[in-house]
Amino acid sequence: MSESVIAEKPFDQYAVIGHPIEHSQSPRIHAAFAKASSQRMVYEALLSPLDGLAQTWATLRANGGRGANITVPFKVEAMALCDQLSDRAELAGAVNTLSVLADGQVRGDNTDGAGLVRDIETNAGWQLAGQRVLLLGAGGASAGVLGPLLAAGVAHICIANRTLAKADKLAAAFAGMGSVSTAASSALAQSNDSASYDLIINATSASLQGKSIDIGASWYRESSAVYDMMYGFDTAFLAWARGQQISRRRDGLGMLVEQAAEAFYVWRGVRPDTQALLSSLRAELD
**pLDDT in tens for each of the 286 residues of the chain?**
344 444 466 899 999 999 999 989 999 999 999 999 999 999 999 999 999 999 999 999 999 999 999 998 899 899 999 999 999 999 899 999 999 999 999 999 999 999 999 999 999 999 999 999 999 999 888 999 999 999 999 999 999 999 999 999 999 999 999 999 999 999 999 999 888 999 999 999 888 777 888 899 999 999 999 999 998 888 999 999 999 999 999 999 999 999 999 999 999 999 999 999 999 999 988 7
Q: Output the pLDDT for position 9.
A: 62
Q: Where are the domains of the chain?
A: 12-110, 113-253
Superfamily of domain 113-253 in the CATH hierarchy: NAD(P)-binding Rossmann-like Domain (3.40.50.720)
DSSP run (H or E) holding 277: helix 275-285
Q: Output the pLDDT for position 247.
A: 94
As a whole number of angstroms, the distance between CA 149 and CA 115 comes to: 11
Cβ neighbours for 262, distance < 8 A, ≥ 6 positions apart: 97, 111, 114, 115, 118
Point out the annotated binding site for shikimate: 24-26, 71, 96, 112, 231, 259
Q: Letter for the amino acid at 201?
A: I
Q: Supply the Cα-derived Rg of the chain in whole angstroms.
A: 20
Least Cα distance to 88 among 262, 258, 254, 273 occurs for: 262
Instruction: Give yes or no: 75 in active site.
Output: yes
Query: What is this structure's pTM?
Result: 0.91
Q: Are 110 and 95 in contact (CB under 8 A)?
A: yes
Q: Are 48 and 17 in contact (CB under 8 A)?
A: yes
Longest dimension (CA), the chain: 86
Of the candidates 35, 75, 169, 211, the residue annotated as catalytic is: 75
Topology adopted by domain 12-110: Rossmann fold (3.40.50)
Cβ neighbours for 170, distance < 8 A, ≥ 6 positions apart: 138, 142, 143, 146, 159, 161, 182
Q: Letter for the amino acid at 243?
A: G
Q: Output the pLDDT for position 8.
A: 60
Point out the annotated binding site: 24-26, 71, 87, 96, 112, 137-141, 161-166, 229, 231, 252, 259
Q: Are 105 and 52 in contact (CB under 8 A)?
A: no
Neighbours of 69 (CB within 10 A): 29
Domains 12-110 and 113-253 share a fold: yes
As a whole number of angstroms, the distance between CA 201 and CA 215 comes to: 12
Q: Is the dihedral of CA 275, 204, 166, 83 positive or negative?
A: negative
- According to DSSP, the β-strands at 248-250 and 225-228 are parallel
